[in-house]
Amino acid sequence: MATATVLGEVDGVSSPVSSSVGSAPPVAVEAVATEWMLEFVCSCLCRHFAEQSGAEFWRWRDVAQALINGLSQIPPHQKKTVYLCQLLIRIAQGKSLGLKFENDQRISPLESALSFWTLLEREENKLEKLHEDIRRLIQIQIIAVHMENRYFKEAAEVLERLFTDSESDKPLRVKLATVIKTKDPYVPLLQSFSYSLLISKIKSYIKLSMKENETNFLIQEATKHVVSQGLGATALLNRAVEVNEDDKSDSKSEQRLVKEDQYAISQSSGYIKKTTGRRCSGQKPKESRVLQSLNNMKNLEKNGVSLACSRRRQRWTHKEDLELKLGVREFGVGNWAKILAHGNFNGRTSVMLKDRWRTLSKNK
């Protein structure tokens, strides 16, 4: 069936215009286009969060915030998309207590993330076990992040806000209250339910969400275009070049690490031998002595005297890159010791942070 046309006039020249296009209300067209864009942006956020690719994640975060802020109200069928975007943005910055997403200045990024996770749970009737796991991990890490920053009083106040008087919450509430009293951020409970485990669980949830978004119009059309133009091979080649540059940078810092290791061994071995020997002569149970020794070793690392076993060469992960970029954003280039103290790095030194930042800047 032929499409009916009407005459339109552009610069005095008559031209046929499709009546099907002209009859569509612009507001409705914008709404549909915005829906496609928001779903696409959410998919990009999910992918870059899962890959821990910081720069790309922050770029799409800004796009997502612009689209969400432009909504006069959230359509019911888009609530889950909006909540997921807001959750990921807050989880990614969960350790930055200086950032505030809520008007209430007491609310940390993770506590704000918990409110969006609650909203997401209401939108779904499945994945109950995964929902419960993530909820518990967020609650535990809200307390853990405050304790890592030595905010013990605030941690106790947060605990009162987090939990109701229900019997199901009581065991965890009691355990966390006990942890706060110890003023030790390295107790087994916080280490077992770590931030990295929270990220891993969020990634599992993301995989399921991305499958649901595979039918998005923009994703389908962009995929067709990439395949038809053969653009996928070029992207993979560029990614391979990035990996090679990272390897070169790591090898350059190897010699410096050897010298640092020698110094660390000479400084730390005597101290450990002295402290562990003194504890062995005491009357504490074996398990208590082991935990005490582990805590001493962790304190050594935190104070800048890294152990040789934690200083062996290891490739930088996407998560560590993200932590480094967050640290630079919060404390500025050059404040490597402060970034190291507040970040979640696996046996790194301030020199290693400096070298890695130089590599990331070159690649960018």
> Which tens digit of pLDDT belongs to each residue from 242-294?
444 444 444 444 444 444 444 444 443 443 343 334 433 444 444 444 444 44
Q: Measured at the alpha carbon of residue 311, what is the angle toward residues 305 and 317, in degrees to the nearest 5?
A: 120
Q: Which long-range contacts (CB under 8 A, 24 or more apart) does 338-341 make?
A: 341/302
What tokens were used for 94?
Answer: 């969960």
CA 174/CA 29 separation, integer angstroms: 53
Go through 96-108 and write b for each residue having 16 or more CB atoms within 10 A of its CB, e for each that does not: bbeeebeeeeebb
Q: If you search the block for the tokens 């009293």, which residue do you land on?
A: 181
CA 152/CA 173 separation, integer angstroms: 15
Go through 258-283 and write b for each residue having 16 or more CB atoms within 10 A of its CB, e for each that does not: eebbeebeeebeeeeeeeeeeeeeee
The burial class, CB within 10 Å (0-12 / 13-18 / 19+), for 49 is buried
φ, ψ of residue 8 to 5 degrees: the values are: -115, 160
pLDDT value for 213: 60
Read off the pLDDT of residues 101-148 as tens digits, 9 standing for 90 and up. 999 999 999 999 999 999 998 888 777 888 999 999 999 999 999 999
Longest CA pairwise span in the chain (Å): 99
- Average pLDDT estimate for 322-327: 87
- Average pLDDT estimate for 161-175: 83
- Average pLDDT estimate for 29-45: 88
CA 81/CA 41 separation, integer angstroms: 9
CA 329/CA 39 separation, integer angstroms: 28
What tokens were used for 66?
Answer: 């612009």
Angle separating helix axes 128-148 and 195-212, nearest 10 degrees: 140
**Residue 15 banded pLDDT, cuts 50, 70, 90:** very low
Return all residues near 227 (Cβ < 8 A) that are at least 6 apart.
none
Q: Measured at the alpha carbon of residue 36, what is the angle toward residues 35 and 39, in degrees to the nearest 5?
A: 85
Region for 185 from its dihedrals, namely left if φ exceeds 0, alpha if ψ lies in -120 to 50, beta otherwise: alpha
Read off the pLDDT of residues 61-107 as tens digits, 9 standing for 90 and up. 999 999 998 888 888 888 999 999 999 999 999 999 989 999 999 99
Read off the pLDDT of residues 331-343 as tens digits, 9 standing for 90 and up. 888 888 888 878 8
